[in-house]
């Protein structure tokens, strides 16, 4: 009892375990709670500030879309929008941006990158850079360095004297009678002894074929005969895989990857031999091995002065017999570059254009009927019509191909909507101003969007998205358009040297197929462009072929005789 009382009345400052413990415990619990609350309030303020800044950046970037065509983000520039375009149809995406910006806009890449450029589809600007101020707009260092492994110093990658020398020599050959005869004869052989047998085999087996692949094989064999003077044999029954053809296609695909990748990044990948750069390195070796083998063989032929070698008219042999400005023979590397460039030009452009042509044809049956009627009308005018058998053995004559104006118009219309080269590149070497008022500083890269031009109402009218061959005809005759409105074959001093041959090649192959078969695309087959130097169909063109009804052909032939 006494102990309890005494303990209770002890002064507060005396030692008492209970009194000393309780106040201490209360303080340690209060301080952490206050500190946690303070930190929480600070975190909320920082978060609010961060969100406010983020909202401001988003609003500010999106507001610039109206002025610049695309949202401009800090550090990243317009790249986030470009990523969206790459995930869909890039060419359609560019078209929509150009429509909003009246035909020209300035693309802003990330800080410290070299992706800044002017993109245009204005015919006035194209005439300015392709013709009026041509010397100010070369391919430029950026383009040359990006495609150097594949194209080297060939005609499509060269500027100034190197380009002029190659173009002058090639122009002389392209316009010579013997060279024209070589091209028509080689095409005749390939169509009748390779293309048509392969197509007929698919009809007999009732199997679908990838028409784009077959057409690529046709033009590849043809251009190799013209450029190298060799026949790689791509288009044969069984469709064998040719290492050089595969390497060439892989190289073009890997090269395009560089144009949508910051230079520092793809150069780092090249140094480390990673990703697409590894693929490019491997494919370039395949291209070089083939070219070096052909060059060695040709040099041996020429040194022996074989009778056969004297008659050769291919571009490789022509350039081998020439001398450079120092009176020396061209190097093997230079000869390789020349031939690879012409293969790129001759292989992809015609075959890709024909693929889109046949796809459009199936969607427009009346156009197909009009083409068939024209073909029959032209051949029915032969003087020896009574002795001709118009079956699968029919052979078109060069002068007949030239008379097929509606077919020419239909192919031009396909190229307008789906140009083989959808975009092209230049670089300005002096400060300049476009006719539309766009100011360009020295070193500015310029992209002219050929695909977008075909879809501009201001250029082609409100029906610009329609497939209408009639827009190219005047009183039934084909009438060409300005090269700065229809830029599928470039324009100005760099106008495609092989334009006439390309049309002849496309018309001959198209007429030979349309006359014999109806081409029907496999149901639900996806058709979209692939991101490449040329506008391949991403998934090919799977089709079934159906033999033409003899009665239908006979009716058109009789109509042609009236």
What DSSP string describes 395-417? ---HHHHHT-HHHHHHHHHHHHH
**What's the confidence (pLDDT) of residue 215?**
95
**What integer pLDDT is reported at residue 74 of this predicted model?**
64
Q: Are 316 and 295 in contact (CB under 8 A)?
A: yes
So what's the pLDDT on residue 525? 95
Q: What is the pLDDT of residue 481?
A: 93
CA-closest candidate to residue 143, choices 123, 133, 128, 158: 158
Identify the DSSP state of 146: H
More confident residue, 468 or 233: 468
Average confidence (pLDDT) over 33-51 = 59
241 pLDDT more than 50: yes
- Judge whether 429 lies within some domain: yes
Secondary structure element (H or E) that encloses residue 168, with its range: helix 160-174
Q: Stretch 535-548: mean pLDDT, rounded? A: 92
pLDDT grade for 23, boundaries at 50, 70 and 90: very low
Query: Between the ranges 29-38, 455-464, 529-538, where is the mean pLDDT highest?
Result: 455-464
Give the pLDDT score at 128. 96
- What pLDDT, on a 0 to 100 scale, did the predictor assign at position 455? 95
Give the pLDDT mean for 355-370.
96
pLDDT digits (tens, 9 = 90+) for 439-453: 999 989 999 999 999
Residue 28 falls inside a structural domain: no
Q: List, as residue ranges, the binding site.
A: 496
**CATH number where 391 lies:** 1.10.630.10
Whether the pLDDT of residue 423 is over 60: the answer is yes
What pLDDT shows up at residue 531? 79
**Helix-, strand-, coil-residue percentages of the chain, each rounded to 5:** 60, 10, 30
Per-residue pLDDT at 12 exceeds 60: no
pLDDT score, position 35: 53
Identify the pLDDT of residue 67. Answer: 55
- pLDDT (0 to 100) of residue 18: 44
pLDDT of residue 8: 37
Range of the domain at 216: 134-560
The answer to whether the CB of 128 falls within 8 A of the CB of 435 is yes
- Does residue 531 lie within any of the structural domains? yes
192 inside domain: yes
Contact 465, 455 (CB under 8 A): yes
The model's pLDDT over 107-155, given as tens digits with 9 standing for 90+, comes to: 877 666 667 789 999 999 999 999 999 999 998 888 888 888 888 888 8
Residue ranges for the known binding site for heme are: 496
- 419 pLDDT band, cuts 50/70/90, is very high
Percent of the chain predicted with pLDDT > 70 = 81
Give me the pLDDT at residue 16, please.
Answer: 45
pLDDT confidence of residue 478: 94
> How big is the CA angle at 432 (ends 429 and 434), to the nearest 5 degrees?
125
Determine the average pLDDT of the residues in 402-411.
96
**Cα distance between residue 224 and residue 245, in whole Å:** 10
Helix (DSSP H) and strand (DSSP E) numbers for the chain: 23, 11
Pairing of strands 445-449, 423-427: antiparallel
* Least confident segment among 18-32, 317-331, 518-532: 18-32
Residue 238 domain flag? yes
Could you tell me the pLDDT band of residue 392, with boundaries at 50, 70 and 90? low
Q: Point out the least confidently predicted range of 27-36, 407-416, 435-444, 533-542.
A: 27-36
Which stretch of 44-48, 342-346, 424-428, 480-484 has the lowest confidence by average pLDDT?
A: 44-48
Query: How many domains would you assign to the chain?
Result: 1
Q: What is the pLDDT of residues 44-91, one digit of tens each?
A: 666 666 565 555 555 544 555 555 556 666 666 666 767 776 677 889
pLDDT (0 to 100) of residue 456: 95
Cα separation of 473 and 308, whole Å? 45
Average pLDDT over the chain, rounded to an integer: 82
- Per-residue exposure over 185-211, b if at least 16 CB sit within 10 Å of its own CB, e if not: ebbbebbbebbbebbbebeeeeeebbb
Q: What pLDDT score was predicted for residue 191?
A: 95
Place of tokens 């009345």: 9
Spatial separation of the C-alpha atoms in residues 456 and 401, rounded to whole Å: 31
What is the spatial distance between Cα 93 and Cα 80, in angstroms, rounded to a whole number? 13
pLDDT at 132: 95
Question: So what's the pLDDT on residue 238?
Answer: 86
121 assigned to some structural domain: no
Angle at 376 between CA 373 and CA 379, to 5 degrees: 150
| More confident call, 532 vs 79 | 532
Which of 488, 415, 538, 516 has its CA nearest to residue 203? 516
Residue 552 within any structural domain of the chain: yes
Q: What is the pLDDT of residue 59?
A: 57
**Looking at 286-295, 356-365, 386-395, which range is the least confident one?**
386-395
Q: How confident is the model at residue 324 (pLDDT cuts 50, 70, 90)?
A: confident
pLDDT score for 129: 95
Question: What 3-state class would DSSP assign to 478?
Answer: strand
């Amino acid at each position: 009892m006494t102990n309890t009382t005494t303990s209770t009345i002890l002064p507060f400052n005396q030692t008492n375990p209970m009194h000393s413990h309780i106040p201490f415990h209360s303080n340690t619990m209060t301080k952490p709670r206050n500190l946690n609350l303070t930190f929480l309030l600070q975190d909320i303020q920082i978060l609010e500030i961060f969100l406010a800044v983020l909202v401001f950046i988003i609003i500010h970037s999106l507001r610039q879309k109206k002025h610049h065509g695309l949202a401009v983000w800090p550090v990243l520039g317009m790249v986030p929008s470009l990523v969206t375009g790459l995930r869909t149809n890039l060419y359609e995406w560019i078209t929509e941006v150009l429509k909003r910006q009246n035909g020209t806009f300035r693309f802003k890449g990330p800080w410290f990158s070299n992706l800044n450029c002017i993109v245009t589809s204005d015919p006035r600007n194209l005439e300015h850079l392709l013709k009026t101020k041509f010397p100010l707009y070369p391919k430029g260092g950026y383009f040359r360095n990006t495609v150097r492994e594949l194209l080297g110093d060939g005609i499509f990658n060269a500027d100034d004297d190197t380009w002029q020398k190659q173009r002058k020599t090639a122009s002389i050959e392209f316009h010579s009678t013997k060279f024209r005869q070589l091209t028509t004869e080689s095409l005749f052989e390939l169509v009748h002894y390779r293309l048509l047998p392969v197509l007929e085999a698919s009809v007999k087996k009732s199997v679908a074929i990838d028409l784009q692949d077959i057409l690529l094989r046709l033009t590849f064999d043809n251009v190799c005969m013209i450029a190298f003077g060799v026949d790689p044999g791509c288009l044969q029954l069984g469709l064998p895989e040719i290492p050089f053809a595969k390497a060439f296609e892989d190289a073009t695909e890997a090269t395009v990857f560089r144009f949508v990748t910051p230079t520092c990044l793809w150069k780092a990948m090249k140094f480390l031999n990673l990703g697409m750069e590894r693929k490019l390195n491997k494919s370039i070796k395949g291209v070089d091995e083939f070219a070096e083998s052909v060059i060695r063989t040709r040099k041996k032929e020429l040194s022996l002065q074989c009778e056969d070698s004297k008659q050769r008219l291919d571009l490789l042999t022509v350039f081998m017999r020439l001398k450079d400005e120092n009176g020396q023979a061209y190097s093997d590397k230079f000869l390789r570059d020349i031939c690879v460039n012409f293969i790129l030009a001759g292989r992809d452009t015609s075959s890709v254009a024909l693929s889109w042509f046949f796809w459009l044809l199936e969607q427009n049956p009346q156009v197909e009927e009009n083409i068939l009627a024209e073909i029959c009308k032209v051949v029915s005018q032969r003087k020896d019509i009574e002795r001709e058998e118009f079956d699968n053995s029919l052979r078109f004559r060069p002068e007949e191909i030239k008379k097929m104006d509606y077919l020419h118009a239909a192919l031009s219309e396909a190229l307008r909507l789906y140009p083989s080269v959808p975009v092209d590149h230049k670089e300005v070497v002096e400060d300049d101003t476009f006719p539309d008022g766009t100011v360009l500083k020295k070193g500015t890269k310029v992209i002219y969007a050929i695909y977008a031009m075909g879809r501009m109402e201001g250029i082609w009218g409100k029906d610009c998205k329609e497939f209408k061959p009639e827009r190219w005809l005047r009183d039934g005759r084909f009438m060409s358009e300005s090269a700065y409105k229809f830029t599928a074959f470039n324009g100005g001093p760099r106008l495609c040297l092989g334009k006439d041959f390309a049309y002849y090649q496309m018309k001959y192959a198209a007429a030979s197929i349309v006359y014999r078969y109806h081409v029907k695309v496999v149901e639900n087959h996806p058709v979209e462009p692939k991101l490449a130097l040329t506008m391949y169909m991403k998934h090919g063109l799977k089709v079934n072929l159906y033999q033409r009804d003899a009665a239908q052909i006979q009716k058109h032939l009789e109509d042609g005789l009236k």
